[in-house]
Amino acid sequence: MKGNGMLGEAEYYHDKVVMRLVQFSMLWAVLAMAVGLWLAAEFVWPTLDFGQFWLSFGRIRPVHTNGIIFGFGVSALMGTAFYSVQRTSHVPLFMPKLAWFCCYAWQVVVLLGGLSLLAGWTSTKEYAELEWPFDIAITVVWVAFAIVFFGTIATRRIRPIYISNWFYGALIIVIAMLHIVNNLEVPVTIDKSYSLYAGAQDAIVEWWYGHNAVGFLLTGGFLGMLYYFLPKHAGQPIWSYRLSVVSFWAFTYSYIWAGPHHLHYSAIPEWVQSLAMVMSLVLLAPSWATMVNGIMTVSKAWPKLKSDPALKFIVLSLAFYGLATFEGPMLAIRSVNAVSHFTDWTIGHVHSGALGWNAMVTYGTFYYLVPRLVGRELYSTRLANIHFVLALAGTLLYILAMWAAGISQGLLWLSVNTLGELSFSFREVMSSMKPYYALRLFAGAIFWSGTLMMTYNLWRTIKGANVLKVLIPPVPARWRINKSVAQPVGVEAQA
Amino acid sequence: MSILGLHKKLEENTGLLIFGILLVSSIGGLVQVLPSLFEKSLETPGVNVRVYTPVELTGRDIYIREGCHVCHTQQVRPLLAEVARYGPASQAAEFVYDRPFLWGSKRTGPDLQRIGGKYTNVWHELHILDPRSVVPESIMPSYPWLATQMASDTGNIEAKLRVLQRLGHPYSEDDVKGAVASLQGLREIDALIAYLQMLGTGYDAAATQAGGH
């Protein structure tokens, strides 16, 4: 490696693997959301599985969640991490062949994993349903991902490690820790294992995992995406770099404690539940600090919002990020949780995060990134603007439907008359959900149609084009890693 | 070294950054999760709790395979209405042989922890094969294949019991040797119903009186 920033020969970023991951990510978005639509339709027409085991609700529901989180989400995170870590380190990817391995091996895991879920292979733990052979395969790919990512940082030519890399780094490290501990199990046959933990202990470990998979993958990972692409796109440095650093550590420390709020009023020790509730409320601070930092960063580039659909998506995603990270702590309060737990309110909360935050920030990033990867204009800005309206309308309708459904379920289930007798039978409450489930199906269809439109738009953008070879620019003297060079005076300019 | 100085170092060193993230993110787990794994009250069976018979265990694994836990919880919270609807609140001691736990997170259908003995086997069979024949407003899927597939073809029951034995479940050698024979002639739906009928039978009223969970 040349440490002095004087380029002896031309070096280029590895962007082809980024493009391929973006393509896979969009493919999974379309497929996994289609499965989601099918599930929503089964709520309205329960015979839509046609008596086929592989279309049965209990089997395809984890296909939907795994497809979105691991197919769409992780492919997007891996692609954008590879893109941004090179640019914030001023070096090409470390071990590019290993990066290609990550790209393809991950798709094989997601594809075969999905099929195994249809076949009924499942360890049941939410977001960790895949059986032990896949747990091992995931670990292998994840280690490769870590080597490429941290290897690139370790060989960087620029002195500071930019904040987006911390979030991506936390994603890689913490998910590895959670994945390994939660999936400790004893194999019986290729398709079956028994958890190393039993009963209440198993529940505590699973929700330590489950909650923080949301935390460090769906929140932290995507914050990495936000912290690189938002300032790039807005053409502004992070409003307060110091705030981003403080909120990073506060986030990394406090998120982990919040898991057992998924087990309120359960048979786990009460102090564990109470601690989780308090730490969930604490979590509001770093979450909103990040949102404020994001909004203030855009505020100097406000006029751009009128003409740039990609930036609109990112700003909207920040609003939903704020909403979901407010709603989360509220749902973690025991008395609120008594009403919300087990109801469709949870489903609404998850989708305000998954559609409003994860999907929107990814869409905004892809609309920005894909044209730049091939050096062309986006095929149609008009289509992207229509997509924006569809995505917003779909998300809002979805959340409203599930709020209405969930809050009424929760209150009706708990309702008793003056004699302490139940006011409503379970059947009565269930059959009153029909209109909400129908509205949710409609909302999902709107959101999905926007995603299809985007896929077409991006496909037309890259059709027949090659991924550009981008020359790695030299590092300005004061940023060079060479020890003889003076300390950088501040890192803001890097954004 | 001041905190800012320390942080500057962290900001510029890959190894330190990795270590820092690992350290800071593991504190919560070490303080909050790890002690629970050594908490005896969470792994001591209640007086009425026994291991699953091979038939019930097979039924439980069918319940898992079909994803019943996706729509049905097995967890009664100590809330007035919930106890009135389903029965006594859950106790940790009831779950010590549950690998994995099946408490669930969504109640599209009702909770099942206290379902055992509430309905007849015939009702369950009708309901599983054609839910709307007994509950017209139900949105549950039907499971016709459970009536044609045999319980003895569902996984390797002997290997399962051996694994659970190693994990500390008190199965005797006779239990393991007789496991295959006990599944003979049973359909998958029979095993599933056997599991459903034993759910909730481990409850210990005296423990709740004494203030335990």
CATH number at residue A73: 1.20.210.10
Same domain, B9 and B57: no
Same domain, B144 and B71: yes
Same domain, B119 and B195: yes
What's the mean per-residue pLDDT of chain A? 94
Say yes or no to pLDDT of A3 above 90.
no
- Identify the three-state secondary structure at position B166: helix
Contacts by residues B117-123 (CB-CB < 8 Å, ≥ 24 positions apart): B117/B197, B117/B200, B117/B201, B121/B193, B121/B197
Q: Is A252 on the interface with B (CB under 8 A)?
A: yes
Indicate which of B103, B158, B199 best probes the interface with A, i.e. most A CBs within 10 Å of its own CB. Answer: B103
Q: Is A125 on the interface with B (CB under 8 A)?
A: yes
Same domain, B140 and B103: yes
Same domain, B102 and B201: yes
B211 part of a folded domain: no
How many CB pairs lie under 8 A apart between chains A and B? 248
Per-residue pLDDT band for A481 (boundaries 50, 70, 90) equals confident
Strand partners of residue A342: B106
Q: What is the pLDDT of residues B73-118, one digit of tens each?
A: 999 999 999 999 999 999 999 999 999 999 999 999 999 999 999 9
B43 part of a folded domain: no
What's the mean per-residue pLDDT of chain B? 94
For residues A321-330, give the mean pLDDT. 96
Per-residue pLDDT band for A234 (boundaries 50, 70, 90) equals very high
Say yes or no to pLDDT of B211 above 70.
no
For residues B125-133, give the mean pLDDT. 98
A9 part of a folded domain: no
As for how many domains chain B has, the answer is 2
Q: Is there a contact between A7 and A474 (Cβ–Cβ < 8 Å)?
A: yes
Say yes or no to pLDDT of A489 above 50.
no
CA distance B157 to chain A (A): 9
B210 part of a folded domain: no
Q: Is A489 on the interface with B (CB under 8 A)?
A: no
Same domain, B90 and B139: yes
Q: Calculate Rg over the CA atoms of chain A.
A: 23
CB contact under 8 A, A269 and B143: no
Say yes or no to pLDDT of A335 above 70.
yes
CA distance A312 to chain B (A): 31
B213 part of a folded domain: no
CB contact under 8 A, A170 and B21: yes
A113 part of a folded domain: yes
Q: Which residue has the tokens 């790209």?
A: A103
For residues A269-284, give the mean pLDDT. 95
Q: Is A114 on the interface with B (CB under 8 A)?
A: no
B82 part of a folded domain: yes
Say yes or no to pLDDT of A363 above 50.
yes
Say yes or no to pLDDT of A420 above 90.
no
A4 part of a folded domain: no
Per-residue pLDDT band for B123 (boundaries 50, 70, 90) equals very high
Say yes or no to pLDDT of A188 above 90.
yes
Separation of alpha carbons A43 and A487, rounded Å = 61
For residues A165-192, give the mean pLDDT. 97
Angle among Cα B141, A403, A274 to the nearest 5 degrees reads 100
Whole-number pLDDT of residue A484? 45
Whole-number pLDDT of residue A251? 95
Contacts of B64 in chain A (CB under 8 A): 122, 124
Closest CB to B18 among A169, A259, A414: A169
Say yes or no to pLDDT of A494 above 60.
no
Per-residue pLDDT band for B1 (boundaries 50, 70, 90) equals low
A482 part of a folded domain: no
Contacts of A195 in chain B (CB under 8 A): 99-101
Indicate which of B8, B105, B189 best probes the interface with A, i.e. most A CBs within 10 Å of its own CB. Answer: B105
For residue A455, the tally of other CB atoms under 10 A from its CB is 17
Say yes or no to pLDDT of A81 above 50.
yes
A165 part of a folded domain: yes
As for how many domains chain A has, the answer is 1
Q: Containing domain of residue B117, as a range?
A: 49-205
% of chain A exceeding 70 in pLDDT:
95
CB contact under 8 A, B24 and A42: no
Q: Is A482 on the interface with B (CB under 8 A)?
A: no
Say yes or no to pLDDT of A133 above 60.
yes
Separation of alpha carbons B209 and A10, rounded Å = 77
Same domain, B96 and B166: yes
Closest CB to B92 among A194, A199, A422: A199
Whole-number pLDDT of residue B129? 98
B151 part of a folded domain: yes
Same domain, B7 and B95: no
Residue B73: closest CA among chain A residues belongs to which residue?
A342
CA distance B103 to chain A (A): 8
Separation of alpha carbons A418 and A211, rounded Å = 38
For residues A266-270, give the mean pLDDT. 95
A5 part of a folded domain: no
Say yes or no to pLDDT of A323 above 90.
yes
Separation of alpha carbons A86 and A107, rounded Å = 22
Per-residue pLDDT band for A44 (boundaries 50, 70, 90) equals very high
CB contact under 8 A, A188 and B160: yes
Q: What is the pLDDT of residues B55-68, one digit of tens each?
A: 999 999 999 999 99
B12 part of a folded domain: yes
Say yes or no to pLDDT of A487 above 50.
no
Say yes or no to pLDDT of A354 above 90.
yes
Q: What is the pLDDT of residues A141-159, one digit of tens each?
A: 999 999 999 999 999 999 9
% of chain A exceeding 90 in pLDDT:
91
% of chain B exceeding 70 in pLDDT:
97
Contacts of B30 in chain A (CB under 8 A): none
Whole-number pLDDT of residue B10? 84
Indicate which of B57, B60, B101 best probes the interface with A, i.e. most A CBs within 10 Å of its own CB. Answer: B101
Q: Is there a contact between A373 and A14 (Cβ–Cβ < 8 Å)?
A: no
CA distance B140 to chain A (A): 6
Same domain, B83 and B179: yes
Say yes or no to pLDDT of A492 above 50.
no
A472 part of a folded domain: no
Indicate which of A201, A339, A475 best probes the interface with B, i.e. most B CBs within 10 Å of its own CB. Answer: A201
Stretch 184-213 of chain A: residues touching chain B, C-beta under 8 Å:
186-189, 191-192, 194-206, 208
Same domain, B117 and B16: no
CA distance B209 to chain A (A): 15
Q: Is A227 on the interface with B (CB under 8 A)?
A: no
Same domain, B113 and B76: yes
Q: Containing domain of residue A25, as a range?
A: 17-467
Same domain, B33 and B55: no
Whole-number pLDDT of residue A4? 45
Whole-number pLDDT of residue A8? 55
Of residues A259 and A7, which shows the higher confidence score? A259
Q: Is A54 on the interface with B (CB under 8 A)?
A: no
B196 part of a folded domain: yes
For residues A67-73, give the mean pLDDT. 98
Listed residue (A300, A254, A252) closest to A276, CA to CA? A254
Q: What is the dihedral of CA B159, B164, B170, B174, to 10 degrees?
A: 0
- What's the pTM value of the predicted model, to 2 decimals? 0.95
Which H or E element spans position B82? helix B80-86
What is the DSSP secondary structure assignment for residue B29, as one 8-state letter?
I
Question: Phi-psi category of A111—alpha, beta or left, where left has phi over 0 and alpha has psi -120 to 50?
Answer: alpha
Indicate which of B98, B99, B102 best probes the interface with A, i.e. most A CBs within 10 Å of its own CB. Answer: B99
Per-residue pLDDT band for B210 (boundaries 50, 70, 90) equals low
Contacts of B137 in chain A (CB under 8 A): 427, 430-431
Enter the tokens of residue B97: 């042989």
Separation of alpha carbons A322 and A289, rounded Å = 10
